Each structure stands twice: as structure tokens, then as C-alpha cells.
Structure 1
Amino acid sequence: MSTSNLLGVVLIARHGDRLEFWQDPTTYTTSNTAITPLGEVQENNLGAYVRSVYGTPSSSSYIGLSTPLYNAEQFLARADAGDEGGVIYDSAIALVQGLFPPSSANNITLANGTFVPSPLNGYQYIPIESVELEEDVSLEGYASCTAFSNRTTEFYNSTIFQQKVNETAAFLKELPPILDGRAATLVNMWNIYDYMNVQSVHNATFLNNLPPTFLAQARDLANWHEYNVFSDTTLGGIGNIAGTAMLPSILTAMQRIANASDPLKMHYSAISYKPFLSLFNMTGVNSDGQLPAAVVNYAAAVAFEIRQTGNDAPFVRFNFKNGTDDDGFKVYNMQLPGMAQPGDVPLSTFLSTLEPVAINTTLQWCNACGQATDRGCAALLNASSTTAVAPAHHDRISPVGAGFLGAGLTFAVYSMLLAALAFLGLLAFGKRVHRSGSERGLNSPQGGSINHEKTASA
């Protein structure tokens, strides 16, 4: 077994290839879609690659994951269950099966001597937390966020956007014949690119008739469009809401991994492309152009490695693999505010810099987004005002505490809130149905580019 100063990994991965979907260019409300067999293969291959790097004893980056059997104390997985329908959740299922594949060691011998192997050649049933849109804001901080939508509208009305409209008018004017009725406007640029990309992968007629430069041009404009929407000039700005909402779970996982008495080795979040843009912006990996300010490919992944050299303090290293375009993880230098030189970041610095801008509670999210009704804000704001006899002092929840609530409330606080609401007659309890993995679709301002998502194979 190789020795390593690598303590553990916080893994963040985008979903795999999917069918077309539509999202509102201002609110980013999305329609449902479905993962494809290609997308499942991409995610499964990513999981196998992650296993080869971090889960194989002979690897120099082995983190001590128990193999071949999954250990619930060492690995936690969560997946966005709102954006893009069940695609992200299904991608997580495929990834963890590559990470923890079927094993003949997955068996049991009963007291009477009967040998019982797990079905499907030792299939391992890995639990994945389903992060539901109306229950947890941590993986979709931008959804129903009024302040974010207002900022997006301001961007569309800005001078820089209008200049881009003028620069791209000739290209956009050529697109209507191939867009099947979709609006050929810069505001609608993501939907334009997504349609062209999906058709290029799954529609041979469309691919053969598409002018050779059109997809690359659309991708470059989509990159510019989305990075400006999902980034901000200030660390805790509302443009970074997709990242600040994710921070509590990321920071808590890092602290747990660095704690020698905690068995956690890997924390995995399955997400859409949007939080990647905010996290890239916040960590400064694209500040000097080393990593383009662009939408990541399908099955792209960031691995925040928690490392330690001897008795020195732990530090964080940023690794990125852009889907099938990259053979493996590449190290990128972070440039947090106040850093003299880009590079790896001491864990203490990473925490002290990012924790102050983290969205630790749903109530904090409601206030930051100016949201008074959706995602539970009506009840939370009402309860907050009802219980405030005097001007309240709100202590910041630490990253450790925040990890147990995602970006929502802890179980204890939430239970007390529910009890208070029930007492006040403000809440009616009912049964909430959660879909399983099989019900989620298993049957069904810079330019630059991180290449194209269009691919014919995994």
C-alpha cells in the first residue's frame, strides 16, 4: 500500500448526457428531461476513474476507502433532485456504481450455514441523499431567488450585454432555420446552445446539416452568458448564490475529513453546471485564465483534496477533470481574496475566507434572496417575526452545524419550529412522497471555452 499525505476528498460532479430541456433565462426554472444510456456510461466511467485514483490501495492518492465493499462511515453522497428532473440523481446512481461496483464479497452466511450472495452479481446498494427543491436550498440556491432573478434582469439591461447583442447580431440572425421555433436572442443563448448540442449528439440529420462553426460559436456565447449570470465581483454577491448555498456542506465535509477521529473519507455532491461557475469564481481558479470561465462538460468533476504534510496544518488542493475531454484530474491554483500567490490553500484560510459568506440556514437564504413565500420562507419569516420580542441577535451557525442542515435547518431547530407553527395553527401536517432512484428516470464577462459537450462516445 502506498503512503500518502491525502486525508480525503470532497467530490463535486456534473450529471451525464441527457435529452434536451428548457430553462427560463431569468428565473432559471427548468423543465424535466431524462438521462441517456450515454450519460449513464459517462457517470459510471467517472466513478470507476475516481475509484482508481482514491479507492485503490496501490494508488499514490489512496485515501483509505474500504474496498471492495462500501463503508457507510467513510462515504456520503447527496444529489440535486430538482434541476433537470431526475437526471442528476440518476447520474449519482451511475457514478457510485462505478465507485463501488458489484462484488462477490457482498454476501452473507446465515446461522444455518446458508450462503446468500447479493443479487445482480453482488450489486452494492449505496444510499444517496435526495436533495429536494422545496426542502433544502443547498444545491439550488438560485431557484426561486428573487434577488438573483433581479440581478439577471439587470445584466440583460446592462451596457456590456447590449454591446454583446450588437456584436452577435449577424450570427444570431442565421440561426432561426435550425432552431425549430426557439427564440434566436442572446438572452435565450443557453437554450439555443443546449438544443444544438443535444441534437448534434442524438440527431444525425441535424448534425449533418449544421454549419461546421455554429456549435462552437453557440458554445462560446453560452459560456459568456452563463458565467456572467452565475458569478459575482464580490465573494458573497448574489451572483454567487449557487456556490454560497453549497458552502456549508463543503466546508463541513472538509473539517470532518481533517479530523483524525472522524472516519469520513469522501463526500460527494451531484449537481448541475451552475454551482461550478460560482465555485470557480469564488476560488479564483479562472482569475488568471488557467481555467476558462466556461460551462463544464457532462460528467465533469472537481475534487477538493484535503492534504497534510507531516505535522503541518492541512491544506486544500483543487483538482478538475472536464468530463471525457480530460484523461484525468489536473491541479489548478486557487486565488482566494487576500492570497499573495495562487496555489494550494491552508484549510484554515479556506474556512475563514469562505465561511462568512456561506448560506447556513434556509431563513438566511430567504433574507439574502428577498424571498417571502416560496421554499418555506413564508412560515420561517412569520415564525421569526412572531418570536422576536426584542431585537434579535442571530449567531452565525458554524460550518460543522451547517453540515447537518445542508442549507436548511437542523432537525432539532426544525422540529421546534414545526411545533411552534402547529401551536399557532399555521401548519398542517401531511404525507410527503419521495421518489426512489428507479422512479426518477431509470426507465426513461469573459469568453473562452472548456471545449464542447458534444461527444459520440463515453
Structure 2
Amino acid sequence: MSPFTTLTVAVSLLLADLTNAERVLGAYIFQRHGDRTAKSWPPTKLTSLGYSQEYMTGEFFHDRYISANSSYKIDGISTDIVNLAQITASAPQDDVIDNSGVGFLQGLYPPVGSIATETLRNGSIVEVPLNGYQLIPMSDVQSGSGSEDNTWLQSTSSCGKAIVSSNNYFYSNSYESLFSDTRRLYQSLEPLVNETFSASELSYKNAYTVWDLLYVALIHNSTASFPSSTIINDTVMRELLVLANEHEFNLAYNSSDTIRAIAGMTLAGEVLTALNETITSGGKSKLNVQFGAYASFLSYFGLVELSATTVNFTGIPNYASSMAWELVTDDEGTEIPVTSDIRVRFLFHNGTSIEGSTQLQAYPLFGQSTVELPWAQFVEETKRTAILSQKEWCQACGNSTGICASSSGAGDNSSPNSSAGSCSGRGMSLGVAGVIGAMVTLGVLVGVLILSMIVFGLRFVPKSAVSGMRRGSDASIIPAMKTTVA
């Protein structure tokens, strides 16, 4: 054996030992839904292709985190039959996202066949339907409900200030410039999309929904229903995608007004809370999976400075894209080590994880040079922008009605441009509240006066100089803010 071969073998063995020394203590996955029908034609539905994408991505994560043969297997996680105490799955109330979650979880913990067979006391044998199909319940997350049936990115955020912030983009110089410069391009598409968009709607204002309609059509529609045309080609579709990326990223994140990234702020808080639970529970909680839409990806990319490193993180992620946060340690024990021995690694894959030769790839967060951060540093950096409680959310959004009605000080930091109350604008303005307060005070004073008259036998003495009492007019309710894109 040559010296070079000996050195190569030695290095390989050393790398294998280093790999084996690392333990994955837990993980959090944020998963985008699979292929769907166009947003312009609600109700939007998950396609068979989308279901398959999610199932295969679930299989990929099974092989990474669940399989007994994986070097990334989560410490102590059940490898065959799911232990529901170890895994938490969640999704908003949305048909596309919910069904994507079902497909993913089927791949994550596939049917177990006869392993799931039970023998009852009377000796009878019960076989689980569908070859041992495993049921993993999903809890609801508050934001994102109905997102795939709505074309407006902030439609389901319910965050008043975030809605105002995103709307401000439509008054920016960059928006006005793109709106003007791309007018001819969008108008040229009219023969292809005139059954969905009017001529006035064909503009950069609807950059995402126009691109989405054509993108879905090019995947699913037959030649008869969507004939080939010189109007649309790869070059035009790439241009439309670049414009859609620019449009949606600017609605999801702004470095000088971070409340626009409310989806990413909320996700950051959920990730931090879940990973902390893995540590504080001694590893009982091992894997969290949340399903959602692209807005959370874009706003999180901005918050953790990934978008500042490469333009790739300002684009809309493909269907079935994945983000993952892993808790790792080099501690050789079997328990959760002290936090100083724990690191966090962030990974991302654009699209179904089995597509192509690339899989999950690690990226540095918060402008750091390393892809792994000590737990304490990850906590400190995340807390700068994360939303960690309902009260924090209400205060950041300036909401004071609905779930925020009992949160004190929710509107203390409201700006003049923010919606007064809930995101739909149905809350009271300060002016209306002042009028109502004055009327309540007046009512109390009148009540005291009447009581005094009864007790002391007082009565009014009419005078000719008094012509009557003026009555105040009713205060009108502020109309709801329009949040849909025309």
C-alpha cells in the first residue's frame, strides 16, 4: 500500500469518527406545500404532483432523522412506530397546506404492516387499516389560514402594521419605476390570460398572480387548453419570475421596517421555543414539523441576513422546499448536554429534497462566517427580531381587538399609518374611543344628577333663555382597509 493510499485511508477513518461523534439532539422543519392549482382560480387544490412531492420529501427526512442507519438520526427517536410524545406537527387551516402535511407525514413515518397488529384479551387479532397506516395529528397555527386561496401576501397575517408596511411598497420609487417599465410586457400577455385578468389588471401590481397562472398552466394544461404561442417562452417566463420575486420579497421584508416580516418573526419565535423545549425536556421533544407558505421563507431569509449574502435568498422558494434547524453536539453521552456544548445548524433546500444531486445544504445565519452557532449565540441573535408570545405579537402589530383585546399596551407604539385595532380596520380609532368615553362620563353624571333629584326632591326650573339642549352627533366607524390586490 502506497503512503498516499495509507494517508487517504487514515483521513477517511478520521472523518468517519468525527461524523459518528456528532449527535443530533432534535430538529425543526418548516416545509412549503407541494404543487397546486393557480391562486387566481380558488378554491386552490393540491395536485397529485404536489402530494407526491410532499410524500417523497417526507421519505427524505425519514431517511435523515428517523432511519436507524442514518448518521443524522435524532438521538432516541422511535424508528418504526411513531411516538407522538416525540413529534409535533402543525399547519394553518388551509386545504393545500393541510393536505401537503398529510402527504409529508405519511412519508416521514410510513405504514408498518403487521408490526401494528394488536391482540385483544379475547384472543382476536386487529390489523390496522391501510397496511399499518400511522396517524400523526396536526395542530393549528394562527397565521396563514386560507393563504393559498388569497393572492395578497399579507392577507392572512392579521397584523395591522405588517399590512400597512407591505402596502407602503406600492408607493415606493422602485415600485413605480417597475410598474411603468414593465407595462408593455404584461399587456402583451393579454391573449393568454384574458379570461382571468382584465387589461387594467395586467401590470406589475399583480406580478405574482400573473406569473403563477402561467407557471401552473405550463405544468398542467394540455396543448388544446393552453396552446403554444410566440407570446410565451422560457425567456419571458424567466423575466416574469424575476419580477414576481422582486414583488413578493418586497412585500415580505424591508430592512428599515422589519414588522413587514411578521411571518418570519413569528416563525423564528416558534423555532426558538421548540428547540428550547427539546433541551429543557431532556430530549423528550425531538422533532417539530410545521407546514406553510412561501411568505415565511422570504421574511425569515431577510431577518437572518441570508438575503444580504446572495440574491438566491430573495426568490420565491419552489414547491416542497424545506428549511431545517438542527440541534447538534459532540458530547459523547446519551443525555442532553449542557447548553455550552450545543450548537444550531440551519439548512435549506429549494424544492423537493430528492430532486437532483443536491440535498439539504447548511448556510450561515446572522451574517456569521460559520454554519453552526453556539446555542447561546443563536438565542441572542434570534431574540432580536423573534415574536415569542401573543402579547409581543399584539404590541408589535398594534392590534387591540380579537385575540389582542386583553393584551395591555397593544397599541402603545402605533404609528399614524397603522390600522387602528385589528388588521381589517374594524377596531376603534382613538377619536372614536374618546367620543364614547365622553358619552359614558356624561351618562354617569346624568345618573348622579337624577339620583340627587330623587333623594333631595330637586326639580328643574324652566327659563325662557334656555332654548334646548344640543345633542352630539354619532361617531362613524372607520371603514375597513382594503388588503386585496386589484
Q: Tell me whether the two structures share a fold, i.e. TM-score over 0.5.
A: yes
Contact kept? 2:143, 2:156, Cα under 8 Å = no
Contact kept? 1:12, 1:269, Cα under 8 Å = yes
- Where in structure 2 are the equivalents of 1:7-26 lying within 5 Å? 7-22=25-40
Q: Which has the higher contact order (CA 8 A, sep 6+)?
A: 1
Equivalent of residue 242 in structure 1, options 263, 266, 280: 263
Equivalent of residue 124 in structure 1, options 115, 121, 134: 134
2:464 aligns to what?
A: none
Percent of aligned pairs sharing the same letter: 29
Contact kept? 1:172, 1:184, Cα under 8 Å = yes
Contact kept? 1:13, 1:271, Cα under 8 Å = yes
Equivalent of residue 305 in structure 1, options 311, 317, 326: 326
Mean Cα deviation higher: 168-177 or 71-80 = 168-177
State the SS of the aligned residue for 1:204.
Answer: coil
**Which structure carries more helix by proportion?**
2
Inter-partner Cα distance in structure 2 for 1:59 and 1:160: 48
- Where in structure 2 are the equivalents of 1:102-181 lying within 5 Å? 102-104=111-113, 105-132=115-142, 143-180=157-194, 181=196
Equivalent of residue 322 in structure 1, options 350, 358, 361: 350
Equivalent of residue 66 in structure 1, options 78, 88, 99: 78
* 1:367-390: CA deviation from partner (whole Å, max 9, x where unpaired): 3223344x433x335xx479xxxx
* 1:409-456: CA deviation from partner (whole Å, max 9, x where unpaired): xxxxxxxxxxxxxxxxxxxxxxxxxxxxxxxxxxxxxxxxxxxxxxxx
Mean Cα deviation higher: 122-131 or 86-95 = 122-131
2:273 aligns to what?
A: 252
1:186 aligns to what?
A: 204
1:6 aligns to what?
A: 24
Say if 1:46 and 1:22 are closer, same or farther in 2 by CA, change over 3 A. Answer: same
- 1:259 positional shift: 4.1
Equivalent of residue 361 in structure 2, options 324, 328, 331: 331
- Where in structure 2 are the equivalents of 1:390-409 lying within 5 Å? none
Inter-partner Cα distance in structure 1 for 2:294 and 2:48: 20
1:96 aligns to what?
A: 105
1:376 aligns to what?
A: 403
Alignment length (residue pairs): 369
1:411 aligns to what?
A: none
1:86 correspondence with 2:95: yes
Inter-partner Cα distance in structure 2 for 1:292 and 1:248: 20
Contact kept? 2:163, 2:260, Cα under 8 Å = no
2:236 aligns to what?
A: 214
2:475 aligns to what?
A: none
2:88 aligns to what?
A: 76
Say if 1:335 and 1:70 are closer, same or farther in 2 by CA, change over 3 A. Answer: closer
Equivalent of residue 298 in structure 2, options 250, 271, 277: 277
State the SS of the aligned residue for 2:126.
Answer: strand
Inter-partner Cα distance in structure 2 for 1:48 and 1:134: 25
Structure with max Cα Rg? 2
Inter-partner Cα distance in structure 1 for 2:47 and 2:203: 28
Say if 1:230 and 1:207 are closer, same or farther in 2 by CA, change over 3 A. Answer: farther
State the SS of the aligned residue for 2:182.
Answer: helix
Inter-partner Cα distance in structure 1 for 2:204 and 2:312: 24
RMSD over aligned Cα atoms: 2.9
- 1:140 positional shift: 8.0
* 1:8-40: CA deviation from partner (whole Å, max 9, x where unpaired): 2110100011111249xxxxxxx5411111111
Inter-partner Cα distance in structure 1 for 2:379 and 2:154: 21
Contact kept? 2:28, 2:326, Cα under 8 Å = yes
Instruction: Give 1:66's aligned amino acid.
Output: S
Structure 1 portions without partners, runs of 5+: 24-30, 392-458
Inter-partner Cα distance in structure 2 for 1:224 and 1:290: 10
Inter-partner Cα distance in structure 2 for 1:76 and 1:156: 38
- 1:207 positional shift: 6.2
Equivalent of residue 288 in structure 1, options 295, 300, 309: 309
Mean Cα deviation higher: 362-371 or 278-287 = 362-371
State the SS of the aligned residue for 1:243.
Answer: helix
Say if 1:69 and 1:207 are closer, same or farther in 2 by CA, change over 3 A. Answer: farther
Contact kept? 1:142, 1:148, Cα under 8 Å = no
* 1:181-213: CA deviation from partner (whole Å, max 9, x where unpaired): 422111111111111111111112326333332
2:377 aligns to what?
A: 349
- 1:217 positional shift: 1.6
Inter-partner Cα distance in structure 2 for 1:140 and 1:253: 25
Equivalent of residue 41 in structure 1, options 35, 49, 52: 52
State the SS of the aligned residue for 2:55.
Answer: helix
2:15 aligns to what?
A: none
Contact kept? 1:287, 1:335, Cα under 8 Å = no
State the SS of the aligned residue for 1:284.
Answer: coil
